[in-house]
């Protein structure tokens, strides 16, 4: 029988993607792999990120006999997809910032992209803006601090509104009407972000689009269901008890550290 769908991210942000995929494919087995030893990815050298992701993901694909890989990380997707697609003989799905729908939904033609510094500076991101949002005023906001806040919330810690407001003040001041959450960590903070920016700002992410793509590929490959609905989480650095509890509540029955390098 076919192996699990492998979902990869630097931290717990990819859970926002996994949640959407599970909604459309509830009977699949899943392996969630996160490289928290090198979090946040937005601060890494490009070649270090590419080499590290390729070796870690390829080794895990072999270990769990994965049937499909989802790179649930915008920063990694902008760099490692071509390399992984050459290295692996299974489908690889990446995450693309929701620039296209943002441009379509924005009534003021004034949109923003909130992402990691790495995603903000990539040529790939600027090509998306040029192709799909050339008629819009586009603001770019880079933050690694929000990634760490999302990790903090996922571990069960309280996020203060002051922490959000300090990071998002420039976005509120810009008066845009549509904001793309261009990092999979950021939907974890969606309620806090929406509360601070107000309901007049539309927040968009790529979760449902990725889920639809994964579903189409699984159906095309006529994957045999194992029927176990197993949920396994793997990480590269020990995690605190609060996060272990959150992962168990999410549905993971097995949590373990993997070796890197």
Return d(Cα 125, Cα 222) in angstroms, integer.
33
Is 110 labelled a binding residue? no
Tokens encoding 207: 């979760």
Same domain, 200 and 212: no
Is 73 an active-site residue?
A: yes
Q: What is the mean pLDDT of the chain?
A: 92
- Contact partners, residue 222, CB within 8 Å, separation at least 6: none
Total of domains in the chain:
2
Is 41 labelled a binding residue? yes
Same domain, 125 and 195: yes
Same domain, 180 and 216: no
Is 184 labelled a binding residue? yes
Domain end: 204, 220, 240, which one? Answer: 204
Among 31, 53, 136, 183, the one annotated catalytic:
183
Count of CB atoms within 10 A of residue 132's CB? 18
Q: Give backbone dihedrals phi and psi of 73, rounded to 5 degrees, phi first.
A: -150, 120
Same domain, 137 and 198: yes
Domain end: 204, 221, 236, which one? Answer: 204
- pLDDT surpassing 90 at residue 1: no
Same domain, 115 and 129: yes
Is 185 labelled a binding residue? yes
The CATH number of residue 109's host domain is 3.40.50.1860
Domain end: 204, 229, 247, which one? Answer: 204
Is 183 an active-site residue?
A: yes
Radius of gyration in angstroms for the set of CA atoms belonging to the chain, rounded to a whole number: 18
* Strand ranges in 30-120 using DSSP code E only, listed in sequence order: 30-34, 68-71, 92-93, 110-115
Same domain, 64 and 137: no
pLDDT tens digits, one per residue of 85-124:
999 999 999 999 999 999 999 999 999 999 999 899 999 9
Same domain, 36 and 23: yes
Same domain, 157 and 185: yes
- pLDDT surpassing 70 at residue 223: no
- Contact partners, residue 89, CB within 8 Å, separation at least 6: none
Same domain, 66 and 115: no
Same domain, 16 and 68: yes
**What is the per-residue pLDDT for 221?**
65
What's the pLDDT band for 222 if we cut at 50, 70, 90?
low
Mean per-residue pLDDT, 63-91: 94
Among 31, 53, 73, 136, the one annotated catalytic:
73
Same domain, 114 and 195: yes
Tokens encoding 38: 């090198």
- Contact partners, residue 164, CB within 8 Å, separation at least 6: 149, 189, 192, 193, 195, 196
Same domain, 144 and 190: yes
Range of the domain at 61: 5-95+207-257
Tokens encoding 116: 């990691």
Specify the residue for token string 């949109």. 111
Q: What is the pTM of this model?
A: 0.91
Q: 246-254: long-range contacts at Cβ-Cβ below 8 A with a sequence spacing of 24 or more?
A: 246/12, 246/154, 246/155, 246/156, 247/12, 250/15, 252/32, 254/230
């Amino acid at each position: 029988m076919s192996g699990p769908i492998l979902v990869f991210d630097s931290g717990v942000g990819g859970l926002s993607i996994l949640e959407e995929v599970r909604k459309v494919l509830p009977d699949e087995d899943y392996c969630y792999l996160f490289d928290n030893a090198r979090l946040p990815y937005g601060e890494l050298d490009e070649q270090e990120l590419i080499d590290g992701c390729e070796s870690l993901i390829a080794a895990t694909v072999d270990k769990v006999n994965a049937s499909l890989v989802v790179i649930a990380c915008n920063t990694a997707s902008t760099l490692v997809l071509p390399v992984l697609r050459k290295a692996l003989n299974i489908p690889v799905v990446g995450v693309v910032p929701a620039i296209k729908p943002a441009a379509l939904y924005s009534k003021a033609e004034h949109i923003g992209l909130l992402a990691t510094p790495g995603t903000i500076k990539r040529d790939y991101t600027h090509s998306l803006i040029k192709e799909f949002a050339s008629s819009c005023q586009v603001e770019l906001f880079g933050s690694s601090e929000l990634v760490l806040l999302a990790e903090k919330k996922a571990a069960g810690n309280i996020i203060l509104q002051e922490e959000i407001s300090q990071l998002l003040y420039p976005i509120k001041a810009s008066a845009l009407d549509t904001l793309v959450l261009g990092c999979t960590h950021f939907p974890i903070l969606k309620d806090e972000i929406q509360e601070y920016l107000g309901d007049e700002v539309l927040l968009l992410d790529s979760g449902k689009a990725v889920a639809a793509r994964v579903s189409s590929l699984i159906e095309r490959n006529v994957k045999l269901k194992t029927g176990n609905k197993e949920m396994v989480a793997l990480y590269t650095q020990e995690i605190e008890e609060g996060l272990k509890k959150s992962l168990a509540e999410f549905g993971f029955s097995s949590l373990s550290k993997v070796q890197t390098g």
